[in-house]
Amino acid sequence: MCDVVVIGAGIIGMLTARELHTAGYSVTILEQGQAARESSWAGGGILSPIYPWRYPEPINRLAAWSQQIYPDFCEQLREQTGIDPEWIRSGFLMLDTDEMEHALDWCRERNISAVSWSDEDLHGREPELSAAFTHAVCMTDVAQIRNPRLVKALREFLTKMGVEILEHRPVQRIVIEQGQVTGVETAQGKIQTGRVVVAAGAWSGELLQRQGLGLPVKPVRGQMLLFNARPGLINHILLWEGRYLIPRVDGKVLMGSTLEEVGFSHEVTEEAAQVLRDKAVTMVPALDGVEIERHWAGLRPGSPSGVPYIGPVTDIDGLYLNTGHYRYGVVMGLASARQLRALIAGDEPILPVADYAPGSLLERVAESIPE
């Protein structure tokens, strides 16, 4: 018997476990496969929504809260585990956007540092960028982390803290008796607990659906390419027409990504590789001929507006959600976990509760997921 069972050892489940453990709860994470090998491993690690002004405030509020904490959090992980998550303030360059004025106003209103760069500024700072680009908005303080390292460090840190992570332990069913959670069923037997947090990423909707609870969280596949480029080829995260290039410390450059509703398939396609490669070369011609070291796909936990569900489920005592982070779970995760901790422990929530409230899953009807 433990105080809380968390379903899913992605970034959201692990950050939730960290918060709850710190608040004094005994926590067990159950993971159907290997910890931290799904979306949280596969993503890009940009610590901001892309074109953030296009997103609802609840997403930007979670991101802004986490952005403040990230540097210290990464430092703590590095000190405790020896694994460096490579938090770097790369800056985020949005190339040839026709939303320049709106973007600058939006940033100014929120005290977010942003500047507009003309042709000369742009090519002075990014000499390998295609000459076709003439201007950009730079959000100078946007950082990135190397998410595979972050989740590896987090996993190690949790184990050191005393959080139990049981791998290859798929939860088949949440046991609910007379409106109260009493445990979970796994292939290896029942685990008793009075509180369950569903942090099962893209699988959350399906898991709940199996027991008649409706949650519109579905997998949205994203494919990525990794170029084996030289350090310093590009200096900022570059974004153009929805696709981005992320420079890592060792010179490797990530190109992302696709948005595909193809169920739970992790397959990669030649077509996507071609589209991503062509886009990358159009942005930075020097990438032409650079070896593509790896091509992979991850399944984002897609929710209708991209706003995650955080909090208790109405009508079922002891059932909580922290899921549906769609495209921005890495940047929203720290805040999202703190918010849920507050709701479970009865502390003051950091953000308006209603914005993320799951409501009743018995009444929910499926909604579609926009791009």
Ligand X SMILES: Cc1cc2nc3c(=O)[nH]c(=O)nc-3n(C[C@H](O)[C@H](O)[C@H](O)COP(=O)(O)OP(=O)(O)OC[C@H]3O[C@@H](n4cnc5c(N)ncnc54)[C@H](O)[C@@H]3O)c2cc1C
Residue 73: Cβ within 10 Å count? 22
- One residue of 4, 5, 6, 10 binding ligand X per CB under 6 A: 10
124 or 263: CB nearest ligand X: 263
Query: What gap in Å lies between CA 115 and CA 41, rounded to an integer?
Result: 31
**Beta strands 253-256 and 218-227, pairing class:** antiparallel
In 82-146, which residue ranges form alpha helices assigned H by DSSP? Answer: 100-109, 119-125
31 or 126: CB nearest ligand X: 31
Tell me whether residue 185 is exposed, middle or buried, using C-beta atoms within 10 angstroms of its C-beta: 0 to 12, 13 to 18, 19 or more.
Answer: middle
Residues 18-77 that bind ligand X (CB under 6 A): 30-33, 38-40, 42-46
Q: Is residue 257 near ligand X by the rule CB under 6 A? A: yes
108 or 173: CB nearest ligand X: 173
Q: Is residue 5 near ligand X by the rule CB under 6 A? A: no
**Minimum distance, C-beta of residue 134 to ligand X, in the bound complex (Å):** 26
* Cα–Cα distance list, 193 to 4, 174, 201 (Å): 6, 10, 21
Q: Taken in order 151, 329, 243, 103, is the CA torsion positive or negative?
A: negative
Query: What gap in Å lies between CA 279 and CA 240, rounded to an integer?
Result: 9
- One residue of 52, 58, 183, 222 binding ligand X per CB under 6 A: 222
Angle between helices 11-22 and 329-345 (to 10 degrees): 30
Query: What gap in Å lies between CA 356 and CA 324, rounded to an integer?
Result: 10
- One residue of 158, 196, 213, 224 binding ligand X per CB under 6 A: 224
The residue range among 129-137, 173-181, 322-330, 363-371 that interacts with ligand X, by the rule CB under 6 A, is 322-330
Q: Is residue 6 near ligand X by the rule CB under 6 A? A: no
Identify the CA nearest to 31 among candidates 222, 181, 199, 156: 199
**Size of interface with ligand X, in residues (CB under 6 A):** 42
256 or 318: CB nearest ligand X: 256
Structure letter (DSSP) for residue 295: E
Q: Is residue 9 near ligand X by the rule CB under 6 A? A: yes
Binding mask 278-307 for ligand X (x = CB under 6 A): --------------------x-xx------
105 or 264: CB nearest ligand X: 264
166 or 353: CB nearest ligand X: 166
- One residue of 80, 140, 141, 170 binding ligand X per CB under 6 A: 170
Query: What gap in Å lies between CA 289 and CA 49, rounded to an integer?
Result: 30
Q: Is residue 205 near ligand X by the rule CB under 6 A? A: no
Give the footprint of ligand X on this chain (CB under 6 A).
7-13, 30-33, 38-40, 42-46, 170-171, 199-203, 207, 222, 224, 256-257, 298, 300-301, 323, 325-331
